[in-house]
């Protein structure tokens, strides 16, 4: 399967600082990437859809000024948590959508990164 | 209203004891159903995608099936290394604005004891 690299895997920062998380598709190009947040013992919650060369689309309730997303190339999307506070501590996961033609139909599969554990002190 | 529901929430099996996980969905215009495996502290790992009722996919001890209302993930003779959370997700036609977004179920935590 396709490989998605997410970095860093773990970050600790002080309250009020900003943290950047990178998501790279290593062996395919992804016009669309997604950013999720996962709380303990819960499923993934979609935060935003990142489209290469255009503004990200945020889900309802997600602050776009708090979570800045940049998708500058077909293989890289970044999530910046600005002025982080303890309540932003969570597990953040990215995915990249790989699209291919199969039997004349366009099929797409999301491949996920390994996640980033953010702890804000 | 839940669109994707997984059951059971947790499942404990003895090694070699076959069983099935269920994923029921209520969305219309299904464009794809996906199964992922997630280990603690890791991102989900893609297992299968199913697109139409009657479709089946297999990989080692796992077999996924799809009907018009639900999907099953069958685990044959599981091993302790199969212990993980199994996530089901759907992509559906949401009036042209789905953008291929995945809607996840809450997952089934599978524990296989030696």
Encode pLDDT of A46-104 as tens digits: 999 998 888 899 999 999 999 999 998 999 999 999 999 999 999 999 999 998 766 67
Instruction: Answer yes or no: are the C-beta atoms of A31 and A76 closer than 8 Å.
Output: no
Query: CA angle at residue A91 from A4 to A115, to 5 degrees?
Result: 15
Q: How many CB atoms lie within 10 A of CB A68?
A: 16
Structure tokens at B83: 């212990």
Residues from chain B that touch A93, judged by Cβ atoms under 8 A, are: 43-44
Confidence of residue B108 (pLDDT cuts 50, 70, 90): very high
Instruction: Answer yes or no: are the C-beta atoms of B73 and B86 closer than 8 Å.
Output: yes
Reduced to 3 states (helix: H, G, I; strand: E, B; else coil), residue A86 is helix
Q: Do B43 and A114 touch (CB under 8 A)?
A: yes
Supply φ then ψ for residue A87, to 5 degrees. Answer: -70, -10
Mutation choice for B interface testing from A6, A34, A44, A94 by most B CBs within 10 A = A44
In this complex, is the C-beta atom of B33 within 8 Å of any C-beta atom belonging to chain A?
Answer: no
Q: What value does the mean pLDDT take over residues B1-24? A: 94
- Give dist(CA B71, CA B73) in Å, integer: 7
Reduced to 3 states (helix: H, G, I; strand: E, B; else coil), residue A4 is strand
Whether B94 shows a pLDDT value over 80: the answer reads no
Q: Which pLDDT tens digit goes with each residue over B38-79?
A: 999 999 999 999 999 999 999 999 999 999 999 999 999 999
Q: List, in sequence order, every residue forming a beta bridge with A97; answer none if it has no partner.
A: A110
Residues from chain A that touch B23, judged by Cβ atoms under 8 A, are: none
The answer to whether the peptide bond before residue A56 is cis (omega within 30 degrees of 0) is: no
Using CA atoms, how far residue A11 sits from A25, B32, B62, in Å, is 21, 34, 35
In this complex, is the C-beta atom of B87 within 8 Å of any C-beta atom belonging to chain A?
Answer: yes
Structure tokens at A103: 């039997």
Mutation choice for A interface testing from B44, B59, B89 by most A CBs within 10 A = B44
Question: Which residue among A1, A6, A115 places its CB closest to the CB of B46?
Answer: A1
């Amino acid at each position: 399967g396709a490989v998605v690299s997410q970095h860093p895997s773990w970050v600790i920062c002080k309250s009020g600082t900003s943290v950047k998380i990178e998501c790279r598709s290593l062996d395919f190009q992804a016009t669309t990437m997604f950013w999720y947040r996962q709380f303990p013992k819960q499923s993934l919650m979609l935060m935003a859809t990142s489209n290469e060369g255009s503004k990200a689309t945020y889900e309802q309730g997600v602050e776009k000024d708090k979570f800045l997303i940049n998708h500058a190339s077909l293989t890289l999307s970044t999530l910046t948590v600005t002025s982080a506070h303890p309540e932003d501590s969570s597990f953040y996961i990215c995915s990249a959508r790989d699209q291919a033609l199969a039997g004349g139909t366009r099929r797409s599969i999301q491949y996920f990164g390994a996640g980033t554990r953010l702890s804000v002190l | 209203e839940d669109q994707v529901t997984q059951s059971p929430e947790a499942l404990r099996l003895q090694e070699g004891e076959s069983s099935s996980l269920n994923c029921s969905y209520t969305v219309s215009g299904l464009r794809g159903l996906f199964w992922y495996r997630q280990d603690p502290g890791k991102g989900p790992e893609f297992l299968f995608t199913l697109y139409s009722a009657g479709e089946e996919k297999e990989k080692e001890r796992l077999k996924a099936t799809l009907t018009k209302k639900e999907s099953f993930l069958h685990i044959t003779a599981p091993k302790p290394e199969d212990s993980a959370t199994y996530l089901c997700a759907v992509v559906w036609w949401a009036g042209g604005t789905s953008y291929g977004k995945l809607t996840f179920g809450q997952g089934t935590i599978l524990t296989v004891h030696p």
